[in-house]
Amino acid sequence: MKKQDATKMTLFALSWPIFIEVMLHMLMGNADTLMLSQYSDDAVAAVGVSNQLLSVMIVMFGFITMGAGILVAQYLGANNPTRASTIVMTSISINLWFSLLLSVLVYLFSERLLALMDLPQELVGEASLYLSLVGGLIFVQALIMTIGTILRSYGYTKDSMMVTIGMNILNVIGNYFVIFGPFGFPVLGVKGVAFVTIGSRFIGLIALFLLLYRRSGRSLPFRSFFSYNGKDVKDLLHIGVPAAGEQVSYNASQITITYFVAQLGTVAITTKVYAQNIMMFIFLSAVAIGQGTQILVGHLVGSRDLEGAYRRGFRSAGLSIAITVSIATIVYFASEPLLHIFTSNEEIVQLGQILLLMTIVMEPGRATNLVLVNSLRATGDVRFPVVVGIISMWGVSVLFAWFFGLYLNLGLPGIWIGLIADEWVRGIVMAIRWKRKTWMKKAFVEEEEATSVQSSL
């Protein structure tokens, strides 16, 4: 597979397509929320809780996806395209079989999964319907994630962006038909939204496969899809399991916090969904900068430019803080009309404004954490962020959310205190870790391997 030299590309060149792609992924969820809000607030809450569960399952595919993205970038930086292409096919194969198994389990046990959330009874029916349909075909999303990550690691960040644009266009058009029923089309509500989501993802997956085949020059080692190299699998899991572990812990903690919110009633659940949908656009730039930085740092580590990787990490973190705090401030001052786009319920609007004000305080910690965790992963230092993340997410975020939100009866603002404290703790610890350069001893493509590859060229 031909690569673009990512080390010669600017952070902007790598990040802006990722920014657009991630924004459009968020828009797909927001389109569902916005359009469903015209149908029913209860439908919004049902789909929101179902997507919370699905987000945990999607992160489980990151065990392989994250490892593949990091290894491909490092091997390309070390000028070893053969190993990189083998990793490509192995990662696609493993994630396909794993996600097929998970799809079956979600379809069979969707009601039991939702029972763990202690939902208000009026939400259970629609939530179960959405979860069984979308979750039952979640393997499609697993393959989309894997192929998209691979293309980005090769420097083709625009490819997955264009596919995401197409998926969003199809999703919005489809939602319009199943929710508003133009031209006599039947109004299908949550069921229709689920079918539209599934259909747009299937089409997106086909497009990504075609792009992968084209970019590979029709020369990917397809034998690696059926026959695994033990070292490749070990390498993928060595990086992927700890890296994805942090995300699994985060999403599990968020489900626990959603359980706390459910104790506050349907208004609190709906407010949380609306506020977090808006918040996604605030930290979107940090996500894009973090992923772009991961690609750059991975290539720099593969080429043994560790000091260049060090400087890149801190520059990216500083840029991310400046952008996200500015956006958070602007969003707060526009929060009332933004929330009114979703709902006319004044109680939800007023509570949502408080949460968006508190988000300004959250962003410096979250931006630092997002960028430097991605940087640490790119070097192969993946276990430390997991340990810190698990301790902070449960010992700070969940504990504080329960204490301030439920025990002190501060409601959603109290729960937000827990979220803010968690992001700041992890951001500070990751900055210290990056500053101490401990990760330089853990770079995954070892010096001897990189030297031998260089000497053979």
- How many angstroms separate the CA atoms of 362 and 397, rounded? 12
Q: What pLDDT, on the 0 to 100 scale, is given for residue 76? A: 82
- How many angstroms separate the CA atoms of 332 and 419, rounded? 18
- How many angstroms separate the CA atoms of 324 and 361, rounded? 11
**Among 123, 136, 74, which residue's Cα sits nearest to residue 306?**
74
Query: Do residues 175 and 182 make contact, with C-beta atoms less than 8 angstroms apart?
Result: no
Q: What pLDDT, on the 0 to 100 scale, is given for residue 23? A: 79
Q: Give the model's confidence band at 223: pLDDT under 50 very low, under 70 low, under 90 confident, else very high.
A: confident
Does the structure show a pLDDT above 80 at 392? yes
| Greater model confidence, 443 or 53 | 53
Q: What is the dihedral of CA 57, 62, 63, 65, to 10 degrees?
A: 140
Q: What pLDDT, on the 0 to 100 scale, is given for residue 456? A: 35
Residue appearing with tokens 């992890």:
426
Does the structure show a pLDDT above 60 at 154? yes
pLDDT per residue as tens digits for the range 15-41: 888 888 877 776 666 666 666 676 677
List helix spans (H) across 181-229: 189-215, 223-226
Q: What pLDDT, on the 0 to 100 scale, is given for residue 1? A: 52
Query: Do residues 454 and 79 make contact, with C-beta atoms less than 8 angstroms apart?
Result: yes
- How many angstroms separate the CA atoms of 160 and 143, rounded? 12
Q: What pLDDT, on the 0 to 100 scale, is given for residue 328? A: 94
| Greater model confidence, 11 or 319 | 319
Q: What pLDDT, on the 0 to 100 scale, is given for residue 448? A: 42
Q: What pLDDT, on the 0 to 100 scale, is given for residue 455? A: 38
Q: Give the model's confidence band at 447: pLDDT under 50 very low, under 70 low, under 90 confident, else very high.
A: very low
- Phi, psi (rounded to 5 degrees) for 216: -80, -5
Q: What pLDDT, on the 0 to 100 scale, is given for residue 457? A: 34
- How many angstroms separate the CA atoms of 399 and 402, rounded? 5
Q: CA 323, 280, 257 angle in degrees (round to 5)?
A: 125
pLDDT per residue as tens digits for the range 103-140: 898 888 887 877 776 667 777 777 788 888 888 888 99
- Averaged pLDDT of the chain: 83
Q: What pLDDT, on the 0 to 100 scale, is given for residue 321? A: 96
Helices 284-302 & 266-282, crossing angle to 10 degrees? 50
